[in-house]
Amino acid sequence: MKSLLIKDTTREEREKIVAESIGYIDGNCDGCMAGLADMYQDYIDGKREIKDINMEFRAQYESGDDGPSGRSCGYQN
């Protein structure tokens, strides 16, 4: 598997990595996938590694900050 690090990828490759990982964002349920795509914009722009974005999201989710607040994309309380 090829490295996903910013230094080893072009912007176009990072866009493709994010698009393939998230899937078809136009077929989203109540807009949650579009927000997910926005979350990875710093990676696409070469500002932050994808692992750092994922770790920050996970920390916020586990702490309850900015986590899901109801039913969305199959998530149920």
Q: What is the pLDDT of residues 18-70, one digit of tens each?
A: 988 887 555 545 555 556 778 899 999 999 999 999 999 888 776 665 544 44
Select the more confidently predicted residue: 62 or 11: 11
- CA count, 13 A, side-chain hemisphere, 5: 3
Q: Which amino acid is at 72?
A: S
13 vs 26: CA distance, rounded Å: 20
pLDDT of residue 65: 59
Residue 1 belongs to some domain of the structure: no
Higher per-residue pLDDT: 73 or 16: 16
The type of residue at 57 is F
70 lies in some domain? no
Residue 17: give the domain boundaries.
7-63
Q: Does residue 73 lie within any of the structural domains?
A: no
- pTM (predicted TM-score): 0.64
Number of domains observed in the structure of the chain = 1
Q: Which of 13-17, 38-42, 62-66, 71-75 shows the lowest per-residue confidence on average (mean pLDDT)? A: 71-75
Asked if the structure places residue 74 within a domain, the reply is no
Judge whether 43 lies within some domain.
yes
